[in-house]
Each structure stands twice: as structure tokens, then as C-alpha cells.
Amino acid sequence: MTMEELKIKYAPAIKDLTVGSKEPEDDEGMEAVLWEKGDKVEESKSDGRFMTHEKSEDAQLFDMIRRKDWKALMCRCQAHPHLAYVKFSRNSAMSKGNLVLHEICKHCPPIDVVETFYEANDSAVMIRGYGGYLPLHHACANGASDDVIQYLLSKYPEALSVADENEHMLPLHLICKVGASEDTFMLLLSYYPEAASSKDDFGRLPLDYAKNIRSAGSRDIAIKCLNFAKWLKTSTIYARRKTEKEYESRIRGYEECQAQHLKMIKEVHDEEIAELENAVLAQQKDFSKKLNLLTELQQDLKKKEKEIEKQAASLTKIQVIVDLKKVEVDELSKKLAKANKRVEKMSRKLEDRSSELELATQDIEILNQHSEWLETALGSIRKIANTEAPLVRSLHQREESSREWEQSHSQGVARVPAVKKFETAIPRFGKKHVPADEGAFNKMDDDRSEDCDSELHSVTREGAE
């Protein structure tokens, strides 16, 4: 488990029964923070694993262990498994360097608490705490239950041979000071019977401490089991020797069996070797025959190679001829492409000329129509030029009437304006545009006659005045 997993361990939110001041605001969801103040976690490496040092908030944890509030402690460990890696350093001099499991084993915990913290940190049973004590030392020295001692022993049996750093005591020395059940004593002695004969720094055996147990029943059980340890040790020695003899006899039988087996294997092997040699000789003969066939095939192949070389030479010549023909074909194709382009250009020019001819024929037809119209217009103009216009006729008549009027009236005052009006009217009629057809000429004559009549009426009226 890495340090990141230890510092931030997500688990389902559980109501924290260990904090007496404030409960967290979020009771649901995922919790990633252990303490309310949020101090940084210090880390150190011990036996290849990371450990978290004690902080100021861990005083609550130490108090819970001292009060034996096992339910709250289990809830805290389940919510924050990295609690099992916390090392105490400031609460007590006797607790400096201890993990939580060391401190729990001092106070006769139930088996489920020990299991919870072991599952959170399985290396705690192998880590030395204050004075070089393992959790098994604390459990034996403080009268833990048989289940706890058996559980710790099953997880790390080598702890029975580990002595502390101060007095060089084994767990058997420590348990002989307080006493235990017969099953526990026999379990310890069965795992490591040599502990009954080992001495500490004071030169004392576990039996010396067992004689000072206050309870008479516990003292008798301890002395009885320790005395039985001598027999257990001799019996183990005898059993070891017996097993060694049995093992040696079995080894001899196994060696004899193996020798017979090897002999049989050798005989079978010799037979197989003879068969293999015969088979090899037969294969050699077959191989020599096949070699002869291969030499003949090689000669045939050489002949065929020469033939193939001749064919290849002829093929190269043919290929050269084909390449030349390809070049000629390419040149012809280029010429054909140029001719096609010229044909396309000529066809385009023919199409342009044909369109121009069509336009020219249309223009000629239009000019013919215009010439016909001009001829009709000229004929109508000639007719009009040969005939006398009614306006001129009316003018002559009016001139005669005016002369008669002048003769009858000696006064010639009114003539001048009439003549001026008449003269001024003639050039205005002459500036009219020539119409396009004969009907238009007739209409223009009618208009001129009407204009002349109106002009003459006005002239005569002025002359009369």
C-alpha cells in the first residue's frame, strides 16, 4: 500500500463515535480526511513500509485505548484504515515508538479489535515498539486472552524467539510473570520449547518467574507446563531423531528404488539405442539414394537453366523490338492526337462560319424588307409630289379673295398682319418629319389642311378688325 493510499483512503462514511467535540457536517458520501484540523501527515519508512507519526489529535486515540472504548476505536479504524500506521511519540514515555496495535495489546483487547487493526496493517505484528517489544510481548506481559495470543502467534510464530532490547526477555518470560491457561502455555512451548531453557539478562529462567506468580492455580499450571517442557524438549529431540532415522531409511529405500529404476531405464535405453542405430543406418541408405537423385536433378536443372538462358536472350531481343514498336505507336498516337485537335479546331471554325452565314442571311432578308418598304414609300412620295396639295389650293383661293377684298376696300391696314401670319405658318409646316408609309402621308396632309384652315380663320378675323 502506497503513502497516497494511506493518506487518502476513500471508504463509506461512518458516524464517527470517537470525536467528542463536533461531528462532521457531511454525514453521507465519501470521506477522505481523518482529522478535523487537517494537519499534514508526516511519513517515515520502517521495514520497507510507510508509517505516520503521531499528531496532536492522536491524543484522543490514546485516550480511547486507555478507556477501552473498543467500539469507537473499531469504527475509527474502519473509517480511516491508515490509523493502524500511526506511531505514538508524545503521550507517554513507555509508548514512544509503539503502533496502535502495541498499545491495544497492553489493555486486554477483544479478538475482533486485534483482527481489525491487523487487517488494516498486517506488518504491525513484526514491528518492534518501545523497548523492542512486539505486540505478542505486550499481550503476554499484560494478561491478554488466549484468543488474542493464539491469533498473534498464528500470524507471526517467529515472535516467540524474539527477545526485547532492555532485559533480553522472550514472550515466555513475560507470560510466566502474570500466568495464563494451560492451553496457552502448551501452545507457546510447542512452537518454541527452547524458550523454557533460555535466560534473560538477569540470569533467570521462565520457571523462576513462574514460581513468583501470586495466584496459586496459575502458578501450578505454569510450573507444571514448564516442567513438562523438559519432557517436551526431550520428546521433540527423540521425535526429531526418529524422524531423521525414518527419513534416512526412506532416503535409502528411495535411492535403491531409483537405482533399480535407473537400471531398468538403462536396459530400455540400450535397446532403444540399438533400434535407433538400425534406423539411422536405414536412413543413411535412403539418404544416399536421395543424394544420387538430387545430383541427377541438379544436372537436369543445369541443362534447363541453359535452355532458359537461351530463351531469355531471345526474349530480350523480342522485348527490344516490342519497345521500338511501342515508341512508333506512341509517336503515331501523338500525331493522331494533333490531327484530332486540328479537326476539332476546323469543326469549330466551320460552326462559327455557319453561324455568321445564318446571321448574314437574316440581315439580307431584313434589308430586302427595308428596300421593299422604301420603294413603296418613294412611290407614295412621287404621287404626292405630282398632285397639288389641298392646302396650296386653299391658299391660292384665299389670296384671290383677299385681292378682291383689297380692291373693294381701299384701306390696306389689315393685309400686313394677315400676310405675315401666313408667311410664318408656311416654314412651320415644312419642318414636319417624313412619315414611313402612304397612310401616314395622308394623315399628315389632313393635319396640315386643318392647321391652315385655323390659321386663315384667325388671319381673316384680324384683317376684319
Strands 49-53 and 86-87: parallel
Can you tell me whether residue 198 is helix, strand or coil?
coil
Domain residues of the chain, as ranges? 3-244, 390-464
At 363 the pLDDT is 87
Query: Which residue is listed with cell 486485534?
Result: 114
Amino acid at 332: L
Name which of 452, 460, 458 is nearest 391 in CA terms.
Answer: 452
pTM: 0.44
DSSP character for 57?
T
pLDDT digits (tens, 9 = 90+) for 277-335: 999 999 999 999 999 999 999 999 999 999 999 999 999 999 999 999 999 999 999 99
pLDDT for 442 beyond 80: no
Cell of 196: 523454557
Q: How much of the chain, in percent, has pLDDT values that exceed 70?
A: 73
Q: How far apart are CA 51 and CA 168, in angstroms?
A: 26
Name which of 133, 12, 138 is nearest 78 in CA terms.
Answer: 12
At 436 the pLDDT is 45
Q: Are 123 and 49 in contact (CB under 8 A)?
A: yes
Query: Which residue is listed with cell 541408405?
Result: 285
Q: How far apart are CA 104 and CA 107, in angstroms?
A: 6
Name which of 155, 142, 147, 22 is nearest 94 in CA terms.
Answer: 142
Q: How far apart are CA 60 and CA 260, in angstroms?
A: 73
DSSP character for 99?
B
Give the least confident one: 67-76, 210-219, 425-434. Answer: 425-434
- Tell me the mean pLDDT in the region 187-197: 86
Pick the residue with more confidence: 444 or 347? 347
420, HSE (Cβ side, Cα atoms, 13 Å): 7
**246: pLDDT confidence band, cut at 50, 70 and 90?**
confident
Average pLDDT, the chain: 77
Name which of 217, 209, 208, 170 is nearest 189 in CA terms.
Answer: 170
Q: How far apart are CA 392 and CA 400, in angstroms?
A: 13
| CATH architecture of the region 3-244 | Alpha Horseshoe (1.25)
* Ramachandran class of 238: left when φ > 0, alpha when ψ lies in -120 to 50, beta otherwise: alpha
Q: How far apart are CA 460 and CA 465, in angstroms?
A: 9
Query: Which residue is listed with cell 540470569?
Result: 203
Query: Which residue is listed with cell 515466555?
Result: 172
Per-residue buried b or exposed e for 246-269, using 16+ beta carbons within 10 Å of the residue's own CB:
eeeeeeeeeeeeeeeeeeeeeeee
DSSP character for 431?
T
Cell of 107: 489493555
